[in-house]
Amino acid sequence: MYTHPLRDQIVTEVHARPFQQISAPLALLQIAILHDEQDPGLVERRVRELALAEGFELDAKGTGFFFVRQGQRALRYEPHSEFYSLTFYGLGDIQVPELPAGWSEALPGAFLCGVEVLFRREANDFDGWVDEHFDPAEPGATQINGSDVMGHAAALRTDFRARKDNGYNRVLVQDQGGMTLFQAGRLLQRICEIETYRHMALLALPLALETMPMVSRLDQRLAGVVERIAEPDSGAAALLQELMSLAAQVEGLSAHTANRFSASEAYFALVDRRIAELRESRIEGLQTVEQFMERRLDPAHRTCRSTGERIERLSQRIARSTDLIRSQVDLSIENQSRDLLRGINHRARSQLRLQAKLESFTVIVVTYYAFDLIDRTLRNVVVDETLESRASFALSASVPVIALGLFWYVRRLLKGYDKDEE
């Protein structure tokens, strides 16, 4: 027995992204950055170099997730297939940490979204704290959303709006008593993941809006081709050529959008799962996070899903239309083959009928040779001239009988061959 080469990777996978043990008060900033076609390995090495330069102690040659803490600050790095996230923690205070100087220019990739989470212990001025960060009188302000989460262990408030000063969304969380360190870590991580995954899911929306008119045009072209299939002089070759052109364009669209739509569907599912894990309890007068996402995110989700499904259905319809035209072509070829065989059969029977009409000449020739053969035989066999003369007379008289017998025999051989069979 030997150890499977992937055993260590499989065993450690379930512990690859652990929740942190944290407690109020604290503030964190998480940003999500797309790889943007850059090598993930180079991205990770660059992040580790920046963390080392900032004074965090970690293995420069390590790989994958890391969480490092130094005094009252901490850094969490979490790699994903399309993006990576960096979380900066300010421990013991609710002052949001800032991105270290120079990191904005040095970090590889394209910035996608960021979220600020302020986490404090229970206090009496919760509503005033919320109004301080989400001023309803501010121009462009949106409705505040929130609920009690984790079985009323914490309260959450946010407006899901990018702030004008830095473009980050801000979330306020208050520990209402009884939260364990792991519960707090799970809650804050889920809040960050909801924000990140919803942006990743919405990456497919502009693509869907761009693709939808193209799908509609291709759909209309296909409808026109299908209508022409039923026409008697439609021209199967031209229709097949047009269908091949349509199929090529649809497959090109599918190749261009399939990965994005598939990833978007997975991210939407993750958002729904993370929201469910919040275990929200509704507060009168406030929209819950689930209600907000259902109202604002679900239409985008349906648009992306509908676009992907329309492309798939269009591809299937083109395949069915192609099969229909091919069946029409096959039927036409079968009809041509049938007509060709009928023509060959007609010519063969015409030749046979011609031969049957010439059977009288055949009877005359055969009668002549039969008469000559019998006559020569009688001359050689019969010695008596009188008897020979009588035999010759009888033979001459039997010529019509010989002819009629041969005619009957030939007719019997050719009987039925001059009639066409169905």
Q: Are 410 and 360 in contact (CB under 8 A)?
A: no
Check residue 171 and give its pLDDT.
96
**Separation of alpha carbons 247 and 281, rounded Å:** 50
What average pLDDT values come out for the chain (422 residues) when binned by 10 residues? 82 73 93 93 92 86 85 93 95 92 94 96 90 73 87 93 89 91 94 96 95 93 82 73 89 93 95 95 92 92 94 91 78 81 84 69 75 76 72 77 77 62 46
Check residue 422 and give its pLDDT.
44
Sign of the C-alpha dihedral computed for residues 103, 108, 111 and 117 taken in this order: negative
Q: Are 332 and 253 in contact (CB under 8 A)?
A: no
Name all contacts of 49-58 with Cβ < 8 Å and 24+ positions apart: 50/100, 50/103, 50/106, 50/107, 51/75, 51/77, 54/100
Record the pTM.
0.77
Check residue 113 and give its pLDDT.
96
- Tell which residue, 110, 80, 100, 120, has the closest CA to residue 29: 100
Q: Are 89 and 76 in contact (CB under 8 A)?
A: yes
Check residue 421 and give its pLDDT.
47
